[in-house]
Amino acid sequence: MSEYVIPTLADLKPVDVKALGGGLAGAERTSREMALWNPDPRPVDAIISQDKELLDARGRDVTRNDSYVQGARGLTQDSIVGGQYVLNSRPESSLLGAPDGWEEEFQQVVETRFNLIGDSEFAWFDAARTRTFTELVRLAVGSFASVGEALAVSEWIDRANRPFKTAISIINPDRLSNPNDGMDTENIRRGKVVGPYGEPIAYWFRNKHRFDPIPSADVYTWKRVEAYLPWGRPQVCHIYDSTNEPEQTRGIAAMVACLKDMRMAKRYTEIELQNAIVNAMYAAVIESELPPDAAFAQLGSEQVNPALAGFMTALQAYVGEAKGITLDGARIPHLFPGTKLHMMPAGQIGDTKFEQRLHRRIAAGLGVSYEEYCGDFSQTNYSSFRGASNVTWKRMTSKKKMVADRLANFIYGNWLEEQISRGDVPLWAGADRSLFYKPMMREAFCAAEWIGAARGQIDEGKETDAAIARLSANLSTLEDENARLGKDWRKVLKQRARERRVATDLGLSDPYAAPVVAKPGPKPDTVPPQ
């Protein structure tokens, strides 16, 4: 039996050499493109823990100082939250065992009270008393866009002048850190205490920011806040995108993937602007064997070296009366022999198409369309912009559920718990208020939808006709169609009824009656009478 000979690299076929990196093209190790591609194989928490502080600082910096990114953040807040975030209560009466008619009464009381207090100038929901409910939600959306996280802590403020005791503190994610700046452990990941399944148990917050300008011992102390109180009341709302990686406990912003592009795009724009300014400052170039003073003197400059006075006298004699030549008021100089005047072109600096491609990359990373990101609608029509806005709307809808609705539900749920325990919310006969704390009953009471910014209409006629068609075909509801416009359908119907009643009292016709269309009469006889 012959001895087995191990083949060398030289004996292998080209296809076998490629196979040294694995049987998949993405695992090649010998090609120029793939040889140096060795990504960090550590779990996501280890990577985030190492770089999060730097990434968050860069995300905030580019948001503050880049006009495009600042606009994209504002666009995200406007597209998700808008000017007012309105509660649409949807309690599950069938699960609660409530009788017919109770749900409408509950909605009337809860929505009126919550929306009124939430929009109050006294900012009762904010522990700092500076932001309304809508502004709290906008702040969370903005924080998520910049650093990939939003943190809120439920407070209990017992003061005589407050209409309720529930309040919310929005926390800087930088303050969520390990006690004594210790290393991550099995159960503590950058300040978040997790259980055996990764579930949140508690949070460690530094009492003051590490770089707070006011010296204080609170910088070196931490406070532990339990995720839930013993009876189930949530204390911390930690919002981040946990759908990218399994076993992820902290968040990073989506803009991390395009921070480098943002940096270079801003630098590119600055250099392009500087070149344009220089180009505008230097209108012409003179090529001449003459000294600079003599050359500029031919163009009318008064900066003449006295030593050149004799030369300029001779030059004046040469130019003669040509100095007086004008064309429509513009002076035409007659230059000395050997002197040339080159006018600088006023053309555009840089590559516009390249800049557009760069900004399209950034817009894709931020989840907005290029047209909205740059405010450039010069190459769009109705169809193309409608398609782009549909893609953006899908991204905004998912962010609304992930960020805005989660914070709103957190605030609303804790507030509603207090209202029910105080007896300020109507329940049906025989219902005990302890029902709120039974399994799934909290979710049944607190079920809600949130009406934020209207989607916007590009062509109101076409989109209104589409809404009417959906309603006629039973494919939509008044609630859905009004939500598209950022309105509460109950308020719309009540306002319509009020306007109809006022019109009737004043002896006016019904403003919502269907228009009367005149029927066409018989066609006239086209044959002239004999």
Two structure tokens written together for 123:
């900012």
CA atoms of 492 and 88, how far apart (whole Å): 13
* Whole-number pLDDT of residue 19: 46
Minimum mean pLDDT among 82-91, 235-244, 384-393: which range? 384-393
Given a contact cutoff of 8 angstroms between Cβ atoms, the answer to whether 99 and 115 are in contact is no
Long-range contacts, stretch 441-446, CB < 8 angstroms, 24+ apart: 441/95, 441/96, 442/232, 442/413, 442/417, 443/92, 444/91, 444/92, 444/95, 444/96, 445/91, 445/96, 445/416, 445/420, 446/91, 446/409, 446/412, 446/413, 446/416
Nearest to 118 by CA among 137, 140, 145: 137
Nearest to 490 by CA among 475, 499, 479: 479
Question: What local confidence, expressed as pLDDT, does residue 122 receive?
Answer: 94
Average pLDDT over residues 105-131: 94
Q: How confident is the model at residue 465 (pLDDT cuts 50, 70, 90)?
A: confident
Q: How far is CA 223 from the centre of its chain?
A: 31
The pLDDT-based confidence of 467 (bands split at 50, 70, 90) is confident
Q: Tell me how far apart the alpha carbons of residues 23 and 365 are, in angstroms, rounded to a whole number.
A: 31
pLDDT of residue 405: 96
Amino acid identity at 484: R
The pLDDT assigned to 273 comes to: 84
* Per-residue model confidence as pLDDT tens digits over 395-438: 899 999 999 999 999 999 999 999 999 999 989 988 899 999 99
Q: Summarize pLDDT for 148-181 with one digit per residue, the tens.
A: 999 999 999 999 889 999 999 999 999 999 999 9
Q: Using CA atoms, how far apart are residues 204 and 452, in angstroms rounded to an integer?
A: 32
pLDDT for 460? 73
Q: For residue 171, what are the β-bridge partners? A: 151
Q: Is 165 exposed, middle or buried (0-12, 13-18, 19+ CB in 10 A)?
A: middle
| Residue, of 203 and 296, whose pLDDT is higher | 203
Which of 42, 9, 39, 44 minimizes the C-alpha distance to 26? 39
pLDDT digits (tens, 9 = 90+) for 292-307: 666 566 555 555 555 5
Contact 192, 222 (CB under 8 A): no
Q: Enumerate residues 6+ apart whose C-beta is below 8 A from 461.
A: none
- The pTM (predicted TM-score) of the whole model is 0.78
Q: What is the mean pLDDT of the chain?
A: 83
Sign of CA dihedral 398, 402, 407, 410: positive
Q: Who wins on pLDDT, 236 or 83?
A: 236
Structure confidence at residue 15 (pLDDT)? 52
pLDDT at 215 over 60: yes
pLDDT of 95 reads: 92
Contacts of 379 (CB under 8 A, 6+ apart): none
Residue 156 forms beta bridges with which residues? Answer: 166
pLDDT confidence bin for 369, thresholds 50/70/90 = confident
Check whether 439 has a pLDDT greater than 50: yes
Distance of CA 525 to the CA centre of its chain: 66
Instruction: Calculate what percentage of the chain has a pLDDT beyond 70.
Output: 78
Token duo for residue 164: 């309720």
* pLDDT tens per residue across span 17-31: 544 555 677 888 888
Helices (H), 66-187: 67-80, 93-96, 102-118, 133-147
Q: Are strands 284-287 and 236-240 parallel, antiparallel or unpaired?
A: unpaired
Identify whether the C-beta of residue 193 lies closer than 8 Å to the C-beta of residue 177: no
Q: What is the DSSP letter of 449?
A: E
Report which residue type is found at 194. Answer: V
Q: Which token pair is 282?
A: 């230097």
Measured over the CA atoms of residue 486, residue 479, residue 237 and residue 254, the dihedral's sign is negative
Q: Where are the alpha helices (DSSP H) in 350-459?
A: 352-366, 370-374, 382-399, 405-422, 441-446
Give mean pLDDT, residues 379-386. 76
Instruction: Give the whole-angstrom CA distance, residue 47 versus residue 171.
Output: 23
Taking 70 as the threshold, does the pLDDT of residue 336 lie above it? no
Residue 245's pLDDT is: 87
The CA-CA-CA angle for residues 270, 271, 273, to 5°, reads 65
- Please give the sequence-ordered ranges of beta strands (E in DSSP) within 183-339, or none if there are none: 188-189, 192-194, 200-206, 222-226, 236-240, 284-287, 326-327, 330-331
Q: 42-51, 320-329, 366-375: which range is least confident on average?
A: 320-329
pLDDT score of 50 more than 70:
yes
Q: What mean pLDDT do residues 256-268 have?
A: 90
- What DSSP line would sit under 78-99, residue for residue? HHHTTT--EEEE---HHHHTPP
- The two tokens of residue 232 are 């189930």
Q: What is the mean pLDDT of residues 434-445?
A: 94
pLDDT at residue 112 is higher than 60 = yes
Which pLDDT belongs to residue 503?
Answer: 82
Contact in structure between 150 and 403 (CB atoms under 8 Å): yes
Give the residue with greater pLDDT, 394 vs 76: 76
Mean pLDDT of the region 465-493: 79
Token pair 């309720």 is found at 164
Q: Is 403 exposed, middle or buried (0-12, 13-18, 19+ CB in 10 A)?
A: buried
Residue 451 exposure: Cα atoms within 13 Å on the Cβ side:
22
